[in-house]
Structure 1
């Protein structure tokens, strides 16, 4: 288990149809160590703190293992492969999947500790970023949302950092939490 890339981004206008929204979904990988504080990574912004950011959603992690799924979903829409940060993630990770992570698990890195708090809930900005009008629905069907992290111990994170998983209370897995939200959306 490891951090493959650390990604940050600034809030910028995102145009969808004729409307423009502020979004920081466009993240890019950075080199070297990145400072981690209780509200997230240095140099990173969230455009809508009502759904992203804050103490419980300070950092968003996404498994590299799902990138192949998204490449297949986009099937020829774009010439370039998805770069790190393409799904809005701060950490592109390997070996940390939603069906093996529990809300409350801790990720111990060499210089920081993070706690798994919730699955991501995709929105219309994610659809626009992926170039698919139903990308959020596809994420919900595949149960591959990635997960939010709270900062337990601030420090710094860099690409290549190993991750040690320390079990939390083991009440609800990330994919189970996401599936419950999917069911709620289907009922509405």
Structure 2
């Protein structure tokens, strides 16, 4: 298991009207060179269209591991050329670890900043339109290859080539990939849902989602989120 990764590139973007009849999105991002300031709400110059589901202190940075691109090229060979760092609207692309190597709440030194994993990505229909693959969001969710969000514990600067190093693991029993898969599991065990609903390092929105799953009769319909 790797506890370090190298930042390949950093990306920022601004909301834009990209699809007729749809709300704006900032999923299209551009690579930035040199040191970039990291604030409590993310990279300087990066903005979000809907801060209710993206951005803010609890979801300040989205991280996507480059290791997953080979999987997507194999799964969707006709779209192979789009699967590259920065292609999913992430802020950080890395090489070194994936969700299966990490835990919710892991804390990293990153350049001059300190970051903490707060939740996985909850894919939506914008990912389908951005990639031109109507199955992309659902495939993210099914495989757990969603990437994750960081909250910023200490502001600083980041640049491509910096190392992300694990410095603290407060929740070793909660593997990140397993928590992501649990979030989208319609038949999640109630005891697991209850425990995750009380895990303070998780974002409030994911704790609330797990709290709903404690009820064995609860059924979540993700179709609107995944299909638009």
Q: Given the two structures, how large is their TM-score scaled by the length of structure 2?
A: 0.76
RMSD of the TM alignment (CA)? 1.8
1:172 corresponds, among 163, 174, 197, to: 174
For 2:143 and 2:33, how far apart are their aligned partners in 1? 31
Q: Secondary structure at 2:104's aligned position in 1?
A: coil
| TM alignment of 1:78-89, pairs within 5 A | 80-89=81-90
Q: What is residue 4 of structure 1 aligned with on the other side?
A: 8
Tell me how many residue pairs correspond in the alignment.
185
Alpha carbons of 1:112 and 1:128: their partners in 2 closer, same or farther (altered >3 Å)?
same
Deviation readout 1:148-187 (Å, 9 max, x if unpaired): 0000110110000011112222242221121112213994
CA-to-partner distance for each residue in 1:105-153, whole Å, 9 max, x for gaps?
0111231110000000100001111211121111122211100000011
RCO greater where, 1 or 2, for CA within 8 Å and sep 6 or more? Answer: 1
Matched residue of 2:153: which SS?
A: strand
- Taking the TM superposition and a 5 Å limit, the aligned residue runs for 1:11-160 are 11-15=15-19, 18-77=20-79, 80-160=81-161
| Stretches of structure 1 lacking an aligned partner (at least 5 in a row) | none
SS at match of 1:92: strand
5+ unaligned residues in a row in structure 2: which ranges? 189-218, 221-228
Partner Cα distance (2:89, 2:170) in 1: 26
User: With structure 1 as the length reference, what TM-score do the two structures score?
Assistant: 0.91
Structure with more of its chain in strand, by fraction: 1
